[in-house]
Amino acid sequence: MKKHQISEKKFKIWLERLPELCTIITKYYPGSRSAYDPYIFLFETDYEDFIIDLFSELPTSAVFFKVSNKLVLDAYVDRKLMRGRNLPVSDISRLHIPLLTRELLKKKIIKDEAHAIVDYHWRGDI
């Protein structure tokens, strides 16, 4: 925003117009919204359907889309799944996500992975 001199006011106006320009979805937070962090995951894989099925098992809403040849996952992830240790691996809904992606890389199901916590997000009032 600083680089392109976009003011916070302009950004908020753009965000308010999103319903005119985008599809709006409702997400599910079984542990209340405050128990989740917004993450973006980027996968390079030849097994997109498998990755979508696998990460759709997370106990929250997951949105997938493509950017070039990458599969993007936008998900609010239970903080314990990203930050926790010593979680059992018998249930995908409780699996420590970095360990899961490491295992997928090791088995060559994904070729490359990157993720980041979303620093700035907006939600409209419905």
Q: How many domains does the chain have?
A: 1
- On whether residue 6 sits in a domain, the answer given is no
Q: Return the higher-pLDDT residue of 93 and 100.
A: 100
Q: pLDDT exceeding 70 applies to what percent of the chain?
A: 81
- On whether residue 81 sits in a domain, the answer given is yes
Domain ranges, residue 86 = 25-117
**Is the pTM value of this prediction over 0.75?**
no
- On whether residue 13 sits in a domain, the answer given is no
- On whether residue 10 sits in a domain, the answer given is no
| pLDDT over 70 at 82, yes or no | no
Q: Residues 25-40, buried b or exposed e (16+ Cβ, 10 A)?
A: eeeeeeeeeeebebbe
pLDDT in tens, 42-51: 999 999 999 9
Beta strands in 46-109 (DSSP E): 62-67, 70-78
Q: What CATH code is carried by the domain that includes residue 111?
A: 3.30.70
| pLDDT over 50 at 34, yes or no | yes
- On whether residue 112 sits in a domain, the answer given is yes
